[in-house]
Amino acid sequence: MPQEVGKKYKELLRQYIDRQNEKDLYFGQQFIRKFIEKNIPPEDVISIHKTALMESVPDMPDSLNHSFDFLIEMMIHYGLALREHQSLIRKQEELQMEMNVALKVQDTLLKTEVPSVEGLDIGLVTESAKQMSGDYVYFLCDGNDKIGVAVADVMGKGIPAALCMTMVKFGLDSLQNDNTSPQNALAAVNRIVEKSVDDSMFISMFYGKYNMQDFSFSYSSAGHEPALLYKSSENIFKELGAKGLLLGVLPDFKYEERTVQLEKGDFLVIMTDGVTEARTETDFIDEAYIQDLLEKAKGECAQTIAEKIYEELASIQNYRLHDDFTIVVLKRD
């Protein structure tokens, strides 16, 4: 403990005890810089104060003297806790900076635009439960009067999920301008994911292709939520399920492919489990609830249908989503 610091502090303390004016108090406050410059910890500052006070007030009661010993011990532990707290704050700030960079990368690399397709109305709503989304939507036009749509869901969040999505996008980008069937598209992405993504990350995906010439919709699924098809002529909903493992489980897995026809007024709804497994404070919703919402909105355009479903399901959760929310609506005009 530097003696000159202790000596100067004792002078300032004695002056303040004798006069108790604002000027002496101000000089004492300025003296804090000396402690910082000398890298004197809080417990040593108290020790300096105790020594200076004992010399300035010789008849100080022993009980008061012992209280400083107690305070010194408190400050030792306080200093340790404070440094640990500050270290955690710095780490959080660094993590937030990394997260902000990752968000910008995700927005840039994974950004998707809803295409304009004659005779097909497309609606999309995707909202993340946290900063980074584990859901991904991809539209693919092959130049042969066909449009592909992929909806993927990484079973994980944050930066690892974003990295997984870049692998999915890389696989889908490789299919551009190819007349690839849904089952072959999933097979191609599956091989890339199996080689590139950690075994602890799992990805489900629904991939469908709409044919603008015969109004057919072919689809395959890699362990994803079944899509819903509303048949206007029958006023019923049908599940579009297809057998298929999650992406990356087996490198040479063969996915099932099915085809349905879309008549005027029919629409398809592709969702992630943030839609189908939405829950209130007490319970999960069921598929009948979603179908009822869709039936009420069936006369609207595709984007309005998607927005109405989101608004209703978000409101029952008090706008605190428990999972990423993505819904794509394809409606034949």
**Count of CB atoms within 10 A of residue 189's CB?**
27
pTM of the entire structure? 0.72
Q: How far is Cα 328 from Cα 121, in angstroms, rounded to an integer?
A: 11
According to DSSP, the β-strands at 203-211 and 146-154 are antiparallel
3 state SS of 128: coil
| pLDDT tens column, 93-108 | 887 787 777 677 666 6
User: What's domain 112-332's superfamily in CATH?
Assistant: PPM-type phosphatase domain (3.60.40.10)
Residue 285, CA distances (Å) to 122, 167, 228, 275 in order? 25, 32, 16, 9
pLDDT of residue 177: 65
| pLDDT tens column, 260-317 | 999 999 999 999 988 888 877 777 788 889 999 999 999 999 999 999 999 999 888 8
According to DSSP, the β-strands at 267-271 and 258-261 are unpaired
pLDDT in single tens digits along all 333 residues of the chain:
567 777 887 888 888 787 777 776 777 667 777 777 777 787 788 888 888 888 888 887 877 777 777 777 777 777 777 788 888 888 888 877 877 776 776 666 677 788 888 899 999 999 887 766 788 899 988 767 889 999 999 876 666 777 778 788 888 888 876 678 999 999 999 998 888 777 777 899 999 999 999 999 999 999 999 999 999 999 999 999 899 999 988 888 999 999 999 999 999 999 998 888 887 777 778 888 999 999 999 999 999 999 999 999 988 888 888 888 999 999 998
pLDDT of residue 297: 95
| pLDDT tens column, 27-36 | 766 777 777 7
Query: What are the φ and ψ backbone dihedral angles of 262, each rounded to 5 degrees?
Result: -105, 120
Strand order in the sheet with 227-231: 120-127, 325-332, 267-271, 227-231, 236-240
Q: Tell me, which fold does domain 3-88 have in CATH? A: 1.10.1240
Domain ranges of the chain: 3-88, 112-332
